[in-house]
């Protein structure tokens, strides 16, 4: 065999080697992708309290050793995509953090769960809140500060009997009150329909009422 044939044989063997290598890589990637898709599972669950079975809104559900997760809604419902065998970490304000390992033998790609969370009681150090640093500053504020009324005091002042009476005299009538007054006037006119209404010019009771009003000074010009 001459040198030229030997070189052609080596080149063909190199090409076959590279073709086999590329085919192996593609086959491995395809097998890995199929296996990765088989491990994907969607977690649908509810976070609830362990003692009263109430929903825990705002609970943080994180995948351990991963930088992604989700938060439960107002009803405590959450949804998350993970892999079989991953670990979920549940945490919420006022509750103990707890982990849950997703089973690796789940059939299918969906998994439903109810996670019960236990309330965590923690104690804070005693804190004393004082309005003023010294007694002298408190005495000065007690004497000279003008503290505005709160909403309760404003509401109490606006609902006093004198205030309501003054508002009733000064505020104009609304639509229903004007309609009622007009209907009363029409009803009074209908009583004397076709004749003159009576006059109190010669009524002793009317003259007595006029005399009492004149003595009280109801007809005097008043200055405001």
Alpha-carbon span 85 to 81, nearest angstrom: 12
Per-residue model confidence (pLDDT) at position 132: 79
216: pLDDT confidence band, cut at 50, 70 and 90? confident
Nearest to 75 by CA among 91, 54, 94: 54
Top-level class of domain 1-121: mainly beta
Percentages (nearest 5) of helix, strand, coil residues in the chain: 40, 20, 40
- Helical H runs in 40-149? 135-144
Strand partners, 44: 79, 112
Alpha-carbon span 111 to 94, nearest angstrom: 27
**Residue 59 · residue 92 · CB < 8 Å:** yes
Residues of the chain with CATH 2.60.40.1120: 1-121
Per-residue model confidence (pLDDT) at position 98: 92
**Which are the contacts of 69, defined by CB distance < 8 A and separation ≥ 6?**
60, 61, 62, 63, 80, 89
The pLDDT tens digits for 60-105 are 999 998 888 999 999 999 999 999 889 999 999 889 999 999 998 8
**Which are the contacts of 100, defined by CB distance < 8 A and separation ≥ 6?**
87, 88, 90, 113, 115
Per-residue model confidence (pLDDT) at position 31: 46
Strand partners, 46: 77, 114
> 16: helix, coil or strand?
helix
How do strand 98-101 and strand 87-91 relate by DSSP bridges? antiparallel
**Residue 104 · residue 85 · CB < 8 Å:** yes
Per-residue model confidence (pLDDT) at position 89: 94
**Residue 91 · residue 60 · CB < 8 Å:** yes
pTM of the model: 0.43
* pLDDT greater than 50 at residue 4: no
């Amino acid at each position: 065999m001459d040198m030229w044939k030997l070189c052609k044989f080596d080149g063909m063997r190199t090409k076959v080697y590279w073709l086999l290598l590329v085919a192996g890589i593609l086959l491995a990637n395809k097998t890995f992708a199929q296996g990765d898709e088989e491990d994907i599972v969607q977690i649908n669950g509810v976070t609830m309290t362990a003692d009263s079975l109430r929903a825990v809104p705002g609970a943080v559900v994180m995948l351990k050793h991963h930088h992604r997760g989700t938060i439960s809604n107002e009803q405590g419902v959450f949804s998350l995509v993970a892999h079989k065998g991953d670990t979920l970490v549940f945490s919420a304000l006022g509750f103990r953090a707890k982990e849950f390992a997703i089973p690796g033998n789940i059939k299918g790609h969906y998994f439903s769960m109810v996670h019960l969370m236990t309330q965590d009681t923690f104690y804070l150090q005693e804190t004393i809140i004082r309005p003023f640093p010294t007694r002298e500053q408190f005495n000065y504020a007690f004497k000279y500060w003008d503290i505005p009324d709160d909403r309760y005091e404003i509401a109490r002042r606006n609902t006093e009997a004198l205030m309501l009476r003054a508002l009733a005299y000064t505020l104009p009538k609304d639509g229903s009150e004007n309609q009622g007054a007009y209907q009363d006037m029409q009803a009074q006119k209908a009583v004397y329909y076709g004749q003159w209404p009576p006059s109190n010019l010669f009524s002793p009771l009317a003259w007595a009422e006029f005399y009492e009003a004149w003595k009280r000074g109801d007809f005097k010009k008043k200055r405001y």
